Amino acid sequence: MTVAGLGPYDPDNIFARILRHEIPATMVFENEHAIAFGDIAPLAPTHVLVIPRGAYVSFADFTARAGAGEIAGFFQAVGTVATQLGLDAPGYRLLTNIGDHAGQEVPHFHVHLFGGRPLGRMLASS
């Protein structure tokens, strides 16, 4: 089920619960701006989700309401995760879905980090 990329934040979404340590996750990174953990249904050999600690529904919400330091800190965390996972040299893909048309499933802003094999075209032909 997809969710709207704008609208109220649901404090009981699965990522909010992971942030509160109510649900276990395979953590790969944690700092004051973000956490990163393995996707439970990976689509590549490396498939990690990076989420900000703040309550943001989507990229649109995050860039509208977060401060410059929080935005910079989050994206530095994404880069650090990619580097720590050894993805810089072979390459990787970042993806974020915003709203129904993109297929956003969790109403908490997150970035998918994919790597570990050639990833092909950005979008499949329909």
Q: Could you tell me the pLDDT band of residue 3, with boundaries at 50, 70 and 90?
A: confident
- Does this model's pTM top 0.85? yes
Three-class DSSP category at 85? coil
Annotated active-site positions, please? 110
- Its sign, for the CA torsion 52, 54, 58, 59, is negative
Region 5-23: mean pLDDT is: 93
Cβ contact 26:48 at 8 Å: no
**pLDDT digit string, tens, across residues 27-45:** 999 999 999 999 999 999 9
